[in-house]
A and B are shown apart, each in its own frame.
Chain A
Amino acid sequence: MLNRSQLDTFLSGVERAAFRMADIATRNPDDALDIVQDAMMKLVEKYADKPAEEWRPLFFSILQSRITDYHRRHSRTRRIFSWFGKEEEDEPMPEVVEPVGPAELLAQRLTLESLIEGLDALPPRQQQVFLLRTWEGFSVAETAKIMKCGEGSVKTHLSRATAALKRAVLEQGEEDSNDAH
């Protein structure tokens, strides 16, 4: 029997974050809503009978799967890369060279706009891992399960995503200071 009230409470608790994730991934609110509704339907249809504590990882797993499907359908560039067997894992890791300033300063410079802009520029897998680990707080193991990849890949994606976002913040800061001068 469908526990409508319990499911409704659960879905209402995750729908906003799910929408923001899908919106960041698609940059299209209508597509994002479709993805979220699809994930909701799939969860309720297939996993409503599962224990409630399993719903959250299952829901985000479905959501990430739908986002991945979306990218497969819509990103011609990614398709071309896949034809040549180029994976995101092959991207070179930029080297960190010398200290510039305190870590807090970097975090303080981070705004929603720069964060969204930085996330938008990330490869989809890095973006998803960053959001699942940093925002939703899933563990490395949980994220790996949700993303259907190895824990090593999760760590690599997160490291690259965070480094890229920090660089974006620094670059934005430099542009702002140049504009001020």
Chain B
Amino acid sequence: MTHTELPGNADSDEAMDVFAARARTLLTESADHLDGDTLSRLHRARSAALDSAEGRRRMPWHYAFVPAGLAAALVVGVANYQPPATLPGAYDEAMGQAVVEELDLLQNMEFMAWLALQEEGADGSSS
């Protein structure tokens, strides 16, 4: 591999400084003259990074309500819990009530039938 020989003083600290300074100037100028599309995309990238970080940082604070809400719901649920045994009792009571109502209706029907017979009898005796 052949290399172009460097000037003797081009490898000195002074030359390094001059060369480095020139390189720095060129690079800085190139960065200062980025096209509008690239600058716009950089701006969007920056905003996205900041938004994303803000979102992530907010999340744990919001999520703190989720377990708290679940715990509260659990406490309320346990406090209001009634064993399933109460259901048959309620059923029996309802059924009993229905039976009583049916008996009343039956008695009423018997009474109405008797009343009708009495009225017919009265009509027949009068005619």
- Given A37-B48, A103-B15, A170-B6, A19-B22 contact (CB < 8 Å): no
B34 and A19: CB pair below 8 A? yes
Are B28 and A8 in contact (CB-based, < 8 A)?
no
**CB–CB B38/A29 < 8 A:** yes
Q: In whole angstroms, what is the CA distance A96 to B41 when docked?
A: 44
| B77 CB to nearest A CB, Å | 36
Residue of B nearest to A171 (CB): B4
A165 to B32, CA, bound (A): 22
The 0/1 profile, CB within 8 Å of B marked 1, for residues 11-48 of chain A is: 11001110110000000010001001100110111001
Residues of B within 8 A of A16 (CB): 31-32, 34, 39, 42
- Does residue A163 face the partner (Cβ distance < 8 Å to B)? yes
Shortest Cβ distance from residue A40 to the other chain B in the assembled complex, whole angstroms: 4
B interface residues, how many (CB within 8 angstroms) = 43
With A110-B19, A162-B20 already in contact, the answer to whether A44 and B50 are too (CB < 8 A) is yes
Asked whether, in the complex, the Cβ of A19 is within 8 Å of the Cβ of B50, the reply is: no
A51 at interface by CB-CB < 8 Å: no
Number of interface residues of A (CB under 8 A): 55
Distance in angstroms from B70 CB to nearest chain A CB is 27
Q: Are A135 and B46 in contact (CB under 8 A)?
A: no
Option from B21, B31, B39, B45 in Cβ contact (under 8 Å) with A20 = B31
Instruction: Tell me the nearest residue of chain A to B28, going by C-beta.
Output: A135
Q: B26 touching A107 by the CB < 8 A rule?
A: no
Q: A36-B42, A131-B27, A165-B23 are in contact. Are A104 and B49 (CB under 8 A)?
A: no
Given A20-B30, A106-B15, A110-B26, the answer on whether A44 and B49 have CB atoms closer than 8 Å is: yes
Task: Establish whether residues B45 and A106, one from each chain, have CB atoms under 8 Å apart when the complex forms.
Answer: no
Residues of A within 8 A of B5 (CB): 96-98, 100, 170
Shortest CB-to-CB span from B37 to chain A, Å, is 9
Nearest-neighbour CB distance to chain B for A61, whole angstroms, equals: 16
A107: chain B residues at CB < 8 Å are 15, 18-19, 21-22
- CB-CB < 8 A to B30: which residues of A? 20, 112, 116
Could you tell me if A100 and B53 are in contact, using CB atoms closer than 8 angstroms? no
B9 interface residue, CB < 8 Å from A?
yes
A96 x B11 contact (CB < 8 A): yes
In the complex, which residues of chain A have a beta carbon less than 8 angstroms from the beta carbon of B32? 16
Q: Is B103 an interface residue (CB 8 A)?
A: no
Task: Determine if A102 and B4 form an interchain contact, defined as CB atoms under 8 angstroms apart.
Answer: no
| 9 A-B pairs whose Cβ atoms sit less than 8 Å apart in the complex | A2-B53, A8-B46, A8-B50, A16-B34, A20-B30, A100-B10, A103-B14, A115-B26, A163-B11
Which chain B residues have a beta carbon within 8 Å of chain A's beta carbons?
3-12, 14-16, 18-24, 26-32, 34, 38-39, 41-43, 45-46, 48-50, 52-54, 56-57
